[in-house]
Amino acid sequence: MHAYRSHTCGDLKAANAGETVRLSGWVHRVRDHGGVLFVDLRDHYGMTQVLADSDSPAFAAMEKLRAETVIRIDGRVKMRDAALVNPKLPTGEIEVYATELEVLGASDELPLPVFGDQDYPEETRLAYRFLDLRRDSLHNNIMLRSKVIRSIRNRMWDQNFTEFQTPIITASSPEGARDFLVPSRLHPGKFYALPQAPQQFKQLIMVAGFDKYFQIAPCFRDEDPRADRSPTDFYQLDMEMSFVRQEDVFATVQPVIQGLFEEFGGGRRVDAEWPLIPYAESLLKYGSDKPDLRNPIEMQIVSEHFRGSGFGIFAKLLEQDGTQVRAIPAPTGGSRKFADRMNAFAQQQGLPGMGYIIWRSTVPSLEELGYQEFHPNGPVAEQHSFAEAQRRRNEWHENHPDAWEAAGPIAKALGPERTEEIRKQLNLGVGDAAFFLGGKPESFEGVAGRARTEIGRELGLIDESQFKFAWIVDFPMYEKTDDGKIDFSHNPFSMPQGGMEALNGDPLEVLGYQYDLACNGYELISGAIRNHKPEIMFKAFELAGYPASEVEKRFGGMVKAFRYGAPPHGGCAAGIDRIVMLLADEQNIREVIMFPMNQRAEDLMMGAPSEPTNEQMRDLRLRALPKE
């Protein structure tokens, strides 16, 4: 028999009854049932119940076991009594009567439990990640991640892509985040950089004549952390294709991503319609360039209804250039209580509040019209009943205009005519509401987007049982920085729409062949058709303040390559961590990364970052300045 096991802890079934077996694994928990000891023995593959009574030679050793001790047991497979079968376990029909037990690895007292999903502080979980990873939920997430990556590879090979690896130590490149720099020992005073993405290399692969490239690429960015982003490193599905336009990239990507979500989405519906939404339209309707289309709310501009109106705050605001008033419809949100909650939300976002209009009935309830009223956050069947009752009530009120009214300070200030025009534009009715924000769009769009999400969540309008995708297109190539300078707003290596001619006009009007894929409120993919012509590339960088000499210095390899016949090419990159986070239905990206950093970019388990030794600093000819 093998030194450690004849079977795994997930193997044994009723057919093995009567066999002598050897198992090895971790003690998940020990239970004492009055002279009979039970051990749930766990390994990577599953769980098997092991028992010993006072007649067993293993009984004395089993009495001393601590949770998470690694043991080997020999024993005989027995059928469980029918009343004791555990249908939740593949091994639930059997148990193993232990005849011999050896401790292979003793465990100290645990700093956090492995059994169950207790809510322990994240700092403790990260410091003892090797224990945390033994918990079922996290273990399953990491296994899901591995299966997702295998599936991605298979799908890419099936589409005739070839996998190549690109360098990890390279030159610094402007990708929109800070580089991690690596000092050179052989070239004192000079530094390598860890790649923010394999951007230049994958373009050079196209120039080299390889038609379709991909890799599961590690990327390194010195970024501030957040729930859906790692502060140091992450993995992406990186791909590039030659002789393609934007729509060719979309047609290639969709079956890969859609198939992935159908395979691992746990039965949730995967929408096959992926609309193309211009960036400006996305900000207007959703307040975000990564909209959650499961939420049906679309914001609208309602400035004309407030211009010159009795609502002085917005009327005066609209006298300034570049200002707007936007409405956020709130179907079924027509109650003062809900309006108060949304005002409190706005105040949490740093605003004084949000103006609102409520359309309410002077008929107290739907029951007076003979319809049963259901709560909108109830089960789906009840939501449908509620929606039908609302439709009928609105229909009734259209024929009885005196039986309902618009309420709230804005309605009072605007008057009935303007308020009615707003209602018609937003297609709202009795029991609905609308909330309003005004100013220069860039000052309030982010808050408006978060308010839209909050309204949809509070009113139960978001369908959690599906994945909805959209391509966000027509991103502006440039933006104005806080100090008034022009800089790239997205990928600097993108082809401007209109080529060189577009670059001769106002930079802030130039759109790029750049695109993102949004899913359920997250950005999953970012990509572009590349700028493969040196003269257009030089001009594009010149507008962002990079003279030709700087471009030659920083991107000399790529510029040189483009002078020797570069094909039109484009591609994208999909965030592996974020994809798995969505598939695993997690809110925090650290729940799908095996060994993540904490919020302060620290590895609490390995003690990174750490102070270098004096010898290391001397080798690198570096000196560390004291912290200010």
The whole-angstrom separation of Cα 250 and Cα 246 is 7
Instruction: Give the tens place of pLDDT for each residue, 414-448.
Output: 999 999 999 999 999 888 999 999 999 998 999 99
Q: Residue 230, Cβ neighbours under 10 Å: how many?
A: 22
C-beta separation of 126 from 100 below 8 A: no
The whole-angstrom separation of Cα 610 and Cα 481 is 35
Q: Residue 134, Cβ neighbours under 10 Å: how many?
A: 17
C-beta separation of 397 from 429 below 8 A: yes
Q: Where in the sequence of the chain do the CATH 3.30.930.10 domains occur?
A: 138-273+470-475+512-532+567-615
Residue whose entry in the numeric block shows the structure tokens 């695993």:
584
Q: Is the pLDDT of residue 381 over 90?
A: no
Note the pLDDT of residue 119. 80
Q: Is the pLDDT of residue 56 over 80?
A: yes
C-beta separation of 97 from 78 below 8 A: yes
Q: Tell the burial category of 384 from Cβ atoms under 10 Å away from its Cβ (0-12, 13-18, 19+).
A: exposed
Q: Is 567 helix (H, G, I), strand (E, B) or coil?
A: coil
Q: Residue 180, Cβ neighbours under 10 Å: how many?
A: 17
**Angular region, 513: left φ>0, alpha ψ -120 to 50, beta rest:** beta
Buried b (16+ CB within 10 A) or exposed e, 50-59: bbbeeebebb
The whole-angstrom separation of Cα 310 and Cα 436 is 15
Instruction: Give the tens place of pLDDT for each residue, 295-331.
Output: 999 999 999 999 999 999 999 999 999 999 999 999 9
C-beta separation of 261 from 270 below 8 A: yes
State the DSSP H helix or E strand holding residue 346, giving kind and residue range, or none if neither. helix 336-348
The whole-angstrom separation of Cα 299 and Cα 449 is 9
Q: Where in the sequence of the chain do the CATH 2.40.50.140 domains occur?
A: 14-105
Alpha helices in 16-81 (DSSP H): 59-63
Radius of gyration of the chain (CA): 31
Instruction: Give the tens place of pLDDT for each residue, 61-120.
Output: 999 999 999 999 999 999 999 999 999 999 999 999 999 999 999 999 999 988 877 788
| CA 91 from centroid of its chain's CA atoms | 36
The dihedral of CA 101, 102, 104, 108: what is its sign? Answer: positive
Q: Is the pLDDT of residue 210 over 60?
A: yes
Instruction: Give the tens place of pLDDT for each residue, 156-197.
Output: 999 999 999 999 998 877 656 789 999 999 999 899 999 999
Question: Which residues, including other chains, have CB under 8 Å from residue 53's CB and lie 6 or more apart?
Answer: 35, 36, 37, 59
Of 267, 438, 415, 296, the closest CA to residue 353 belongs to: 438
Backbone angles phi, psi at 333, to 5 degrees: -95, 20
Q: pLDDT higher for 302 or 397?
A: 302
CATH number belonging to the domain at 14-105, selected among 3.30.499.10, 2.40.50.140, 1.10.357.10, 3.30.70.270 = 2.40.50.140
Instruction: Give the tens place of pLDDT for each residue, 580-626.
Output: 999 999 999 999 999 999 988 999 999 999 999 999 999 999 988 88
Question: Which residues, including other chains, have CB under 8 Å from residue 95's CB and lie 6 or more apart?
Answer: 48, 49, 50, 51, 77, 78, 80
Note the pLDDT of residue 386. 57
Of 344, 350, 319, 339, the closest CA to residue 410 belongs to: 339
Give the global pTM. 0.89
Instruction: Give the tens place of pLDDT for each residue, 261-288.
Output: 999 999 999 999 999 999 999 999 999 9
| CA 599 from centroid of its chain's CA atoms | 16
Looking at residue 410, its amino acid is I
The whole-angstrom separation of Cα 305 and Cα 426 is 12
Of 574, 571, 594, the closest CA to residue 582 belongs to: 574
CATH 3.30.1360.30 is the classification of domain 295-462:
yes
**CA dist 29 to 48, 116, 134, 314, 375, Å?**
11, 11, 13, 65, 44
- CATH number assigned to the domain covering 138-273+470-475+512-532+567-615: 3.30.930.10
Q: Where in the sequence of the chain do the CATH 3.30.1360.30 domains occur?
A: 295-462
Q: Is the pLDDT of residue 474 over 90?
A: yes
Query: What is the 3 state secondary structure string of 448-489?
Result: HHHHHHHHHHHCCCCCCCEECEEEEECCECEEECCCCCEEEC
